[in-house]
Amino acid sequence: MQTLAVFKSGNYRLSHWDAISQAENSGREHAMPSSLRPVRTFDEAVAVLGGTNKAAEAIGKQPPAISQWRARYNQFPAKWFFVVQRALEREGRSAPVKLFTFVMR
């Protein structure tokens, strides 16, 4: 079972967050763009991140995971919401909630 948070350097961080935040781990500040353009589809999000291999690297997964998500859901798993958003923010983009497997009621 994967933990949702780990204790690291006096701060609680999501374990997935650590996988993509090298800038934060090194203590550098990350400047956020003033406006983020949303992507419209799963495939557009993957393309913005540089394709399947680079998208997987950007979010700390192996390329087959991206391909499986595309084939099964055509969405990102909900638990990867913050990780994917952070990776897209670095490209000046964002993803709407509909691109994730959240259960909407």
Side chain identity at residue 49, one-letter code:
L
pLDDT in tens, 67-90: 999 999 999 999 999 999 999 999
Helix 81-89, helix 52-59: angle, nearest 10 = 110
Which domains, ranges and CATH numbers included, belong to the chain?
36-99 (1.10.260.40)
In three-state form (DSSP H/G/I as H, E/B as E, the rest C), the secondary structure along 21-35 is CHHHHCCCCCCCCCC
Write the DSSP assignment of 17-72 as a string of letters.
HHHH-HHHHTT---PPPS--EEP-SHHHHHHHTTSHHHHHHHHT--HHHHHHHHHH
- In the predicted model, is pLDDT for residue 10 greater than 90? no
Q: pTM of this prediction?
A: 0.68
Mean pLDDT, rounded, for 17-27 = 47
Enclosing H/E stretch for 12: strand 11-14
